[in-house]
Amino acid sequence: MLKGRCHCGAIRYEMTAEVVHNALCHCSDCQRHSGAPMVGWAMVPAERVTISGEPAVYASSEHGRRHFCGRCGTRVCRRLNVLGV
């Protein structure tokens, strides 16, 4: 089990250590969102992630929703809406 939290502790997450895919992304969307030249990320099925607290959500693209702490601004996750629902 992997655990983490935002900087202020208002948002916490747990997920299984079984990662489906990981990458270093350097697309312009990730660069703008992070303010960095690249972002490291790991993909796990949504049912294997538990988020406590109430993250703010930003629709960064047609299919992606970025979740972050509305208090301290820490990025928590990006969820894909691949089924269009």
Dist CA 15 CA 62 (whole Å) = 25
Residue 85: its pLDDT value, please? 40
Taking the CA atoms of residue 71, residue 82, residue 35 and residue 56 in that order, the dihedral angle to the nearest 10 degrees is: -10
Dist CA 29 CA 45 (whole Å) = 22
Q: Which residue carries 């935002």 as its tokens? A: 6
Give percent of the chain above pLDDT 70: 94
Dist CA 22 CA 29 (whole Å) = 17
- Look at the pTM and tell me if it is higher than 0.85: no
How confident is the model over 62-80, as a mean pLDDT?
A: 88
pLDDT over 80 (residue 57)? yes
Dist CA 4 CA 82 (whole Å) = 25
